[in-house]
Each structure stands twice: as C-alpha cells, then as structure tokens.
Amino acid sequence: GQQVMQIPQYQHVQEGEDFTTYCNSSTTLSNIQWYKQRPGGHPVFLIQLVKSGEVKKQKRLTFQFGEAKKNSSLHITATQTTDVGTYFCAGKNTNAGKSTFGDGTTLTVKP
Amino acid sequence: GAVVSQHPSRVICKSGTSVKIECRSLDFQATTMFWYRQFPKQSLMLMATSNEGSKATYEQGVEKDKFLINHASLTLSTLTVTSAHPEDSSFYICSAGIPANEKLFFGSGTQLSVL
C-alpha cells in the first residue's frame, strides 16, 4: 500500500533559526496536505498542494510540491516559539478516498 | 471555517465497559468521516472511514466488532469501543472533509483511559 515517510522525526532549533521537514511518498500523489498539531491539541489544516512543482507561502512558511508529485517540503523561516508543534503531511492517491499521514516532525524552539 | 465537534474530550472507564464517542460536523454536511487513533508522540493511525448510510470501511488490523462505527446522519458519526481493555487506552480523533476542497477538519479528540 501507499507509504508516506516524513523526516526528521524531531527537530530542536534556537529561536530565529530556520526549519524544514520533508515528506516522501512511495506513489505519485494527486495532492498533499500539511497539518499542524500543537501539544495537547488536534491537527489543524495548513495548506493543500495540487500541482507539480507548486510553491505556496504563508508568511514565514513555504510549502513545495515536487515535480514528480511524490515529495513535498515545509520550510519555516526564522522560527518563533509559537511554531512549536508537530507538522504532518498527508498524501492522497488519485484513486484513494483517504489520505495517508506521515509520521510527523515535532519541532521544539528554544527561546 | 468548518467546525467538527467531538465529545467527550476525556473519559475514564473500567475494563469491560463500552464507551461511545461522538463526532459532529457543526456547519457542514459530511458524507465521510474518518476515525484515528494516536499514541503519545506518534502519528495519526487511520482506523476506519465512516460513510453516511452505509457500513464503515475498516483499515487492516482494526477489529470492526471491537470498534463499532455508526454514521446515521450527514452530521454525526459515532465510535463505540466495546468491552474496553487497558490496551485500548489512547487518544481517538475524528475528522471530516468538505468534498469540494478535500481538506480535513479535526475534532478536538477524546482521551480514553481504561482502568
């Protein structure tokens, strides 16, 4: 079945440093979504990427979808303490009715 | 934005009892809802896809007789953990998607502790 791998599992950064998490799928995706889960909270939708090579920005967050639509990345510039949490990618196959979640990357930011 | 309400947020029960968790889409209709299980510091494990008016689709390894799912209306899905045991203790989360844009909205989750 479809597998979605996400690295790194954990990332500790100093406030102000950049952060990147990577997501790789074993199959070509129709779309990929990113979610953020704060400690003790539930996942919250951040963005969806659909097109090959697509790049979207949300303030300090930059999301990319690979040309082959099998990988994606989330980059945060100049992290802040409010960025702490676990970031999940979720990839969907064209013929699938559900998305497969990556294992998540947990970000901690030291003030 | 769309809101998904999940109740209860926390439940403690004795081993052998059954626990029902509700998931409601408050301002949209959800023909499909998803149920997940999440262990501490781990990812979301999809348990089943709940389909309004039909049987749920369970993921491999998930016991359908253990985790009963009912999706009786377009705004409500329930998960019943039957004859709960300590190993069923976990964080259970539901989600629902708006078909037009497919993004998922998650409930706030239910922390189940079985003594």
Nearest by CB: A48 against B32, B46, B103: B103
Chain A partners within 8 Å of B41 (Cβ): 106
pLDDT at B1: 67
Band of pLDDT at residue B41, cut at 50, 70 and 90: confident
User: Is B55 strand, coil or helix?
Assistant: coil
Residues 41 through 100 of chain A touching chain B, CB cutoff 8 Å: 41-45, 48, 88, 90, 92, 97-100
Residue A70 corresponds to which tokens in the numbers above? Answer: 């099998």
Contact flag A88-B44 (C-beta cutoff 8 Å): yes
pLDDT of residue A17: 98
Binned at pLDDT 50, 70 and 90, residue B102 comes out as confident
CA distance A100 to B60: 14
Residue B100 confidence (pLDDT) above 70: no
Q: Is B51 on the interface with A (CB under 8 A)?
A: no
Q: What percent of chain B has pLDDT over 70?
A: 97
Contact B41 A106 (CB under 8 A): yes
Query: Could you tell me the two tokens for A81?
Result: 């303490």
Inter-chain Cβ pairs, chain A and chain B, closer than 8 A: 44
Judge whether residue A71 has pLDDT over 70: yes
**Res B57 pLDDT > 80:** yes
DSSP state of B59: P
At residue A40, the 3 state secondary structure works out as coil
> What is the pLDDT at residue A33?
94
CA distance A71 to A26: 9
The answer, for B110 touching chain A at a CB cutoff of 8 Å, is no
Whether pLDDT at A7 is above 70: yes
Identify whether the C-beta of residue A7 lies closer than 8 Å to the C-beta of residue A73: no
Residue A32 corresponds to which tokens in the numbers above? 């990929």
**Average pLDDT taken over every residue of chain A:** 94
Maximum Cα–Cα distance across chain B: 42
Look at residue B101 and tell me whether its pLDDT is greater than 70.
no
Q: List, in sequence order, every residue forming a beta bridge with B101; answer none if it has no partner.
A: none
